[in-house]
Amino acid sequence: MGDLRRPGVAAAALLLSLLAAEGAVRLARPARGLPPPPPPRTIDPYAANPYVASLRPYLMTFLPGARYRAQRSSYTVEYAINERGFRGPEIHDRGGRRLLLVGDSIPEGHGVEFAESLAPLLSTRRGGGGPSGDDDWTVVNAAMQGGSPLLYAANLPRYLALEPDAVLLLLYENDLRDDRIGEERYFDLPRLETSSGSRLMTLARAVLAGEPETPLEADIRRNRDAPWPDVEPDPITPIIVPPEAFGPQWRASAVYLDRFADGLEARDIPLLVGVFALGPLVPRVPAAHHAHARNLEKHARAWAASRDLPFLSLYPVAENAFATLPWEEVMLPDDGHPTPRLQRRLADSLAPFVRRHLACASADEREGAPGPGQDPVGRACAAR
């Protein structure tokens, strides 16, 4: 990196502050119901987003049908939100099998056009049949800016309504801090009014009907009220929990991950897990941030192993990018999210991992439903 290291550290610091603002802004806008989206206009993605609603039971969602432009000094990109409340084209009836991509602003494609984000990139990299021997898998984006394990568990009914045949979950460096913010604010959010016939409200009725507090909400309340170390976040690394809080918050977040994985397992839907970090891997980043990222990688890997889930660390992708490219070709200037070039590298690394395990899932289908105690992904790949 040479003389580019110092600008890279500055970009990492910018990323930390912007990501901290991102989570707070997304959750700061309560909405009683789901109004029609405002007319299209250009917004700063780190200011209050009028096209995002914060509410229970989903924590937050895009307003279905929204259209807007996100702009910083280094980009202007179009956002088109489909009727299911996710970025991307309308999700039509299935013509084949469906891989659902779940994650935060990284897989959502913050700062890049949708065609340059992970879901369409993975779709193009699955061509030619691959090890699965067919081309009938499509990749559908269900990622949401500000996402974290709590949000993924809260939105499980929305994901299941899309009838996925497999799910790819991508965890990120700020997930634990975002979960803590979500726990602190969740019960201050209004419940979604369910008088409308929209898809989101119909699902909300099913989640909330007749229950003063759902089992997930009981988990959130218990985690929110659990003892928390009396330390403040480091202003230099505001998107991570303090080191003293890592253990308690990981245990809390693992509860949401288990609810998410349990819901998929109950439907025999294979789950693939990846973890990514960017800011902590910039050369000369603060030691606490680097240590947090490594700790997250270790715990995420152990959690996936405890459930016999396929796991891939994408940390080497960022490390290689910083070692071989100028930082501005890795992180968007004045923003810090992945550039289109880094998105392509992420897709290139994910594609063989996804391809292999979709092939395993397809083989499992041909062998029949998994037996008691069998992982729905792992049987056909056990000998590989």
Phi-psi region of 78 (alpha: psi -120 to 50; beta: other; left: phi over 0): beta
- Per-residue pLDDT of the chain in tens (384 residues, 90 and over written 9): 333 334 555 555 555 555 555 544 444 343 445 889 999 999 999 999 999 999 999 999 999 999 999 999 999 999 999 999 999 999 988 778 999 999 999 999 999 999 999 999 999 886 544 334 356 789 999 999 999 999 999 999 999 999 999 999 999 999 999 999 999 999 999 988 654 455 665 566 555 555 578 999 999 999 999 998 888 777 767 788 999 999 999 999 999 999 999 999 999 999 999 999 998 888 888 888 899 999 999 999 999 999 999 999 999 999 999 999 999 999 999 998 999 999 999 999 999 999 999 987 666 565 555 555 554 544 446 434
Report pLDDT for 192.
85
What is the rounded distance in angstroms from the CA atom of residue 73 to the CA atom of residue 336? 12
Report pLDDT for 381.
60
Query: What CATH number labels 2-367?
Result: 3.40.50.1110
Strand arrangement, sheet containing 137-141: 137-141, 97-102, 166-172, 271-276, 311-313
Domain layout of the chain by residue ranges: 2-367
Strand spans (E) along 104-204: 137-141, 166-172
Cα 312 vs. chain centroid, distance in angstroms? 15
Report pLDDT for 70.
98
What are the CA-CA distances from residue 73 to residues 279, 329, 332, 336, 337 (Å)? 20, 15, 10, 12, 13
Report pLDDT for 97.
92
What is the rounded distance in angstroms from the CA atom of residue 103 to the CA atom of residue 106? 7
Report pLDDT for 204.
60
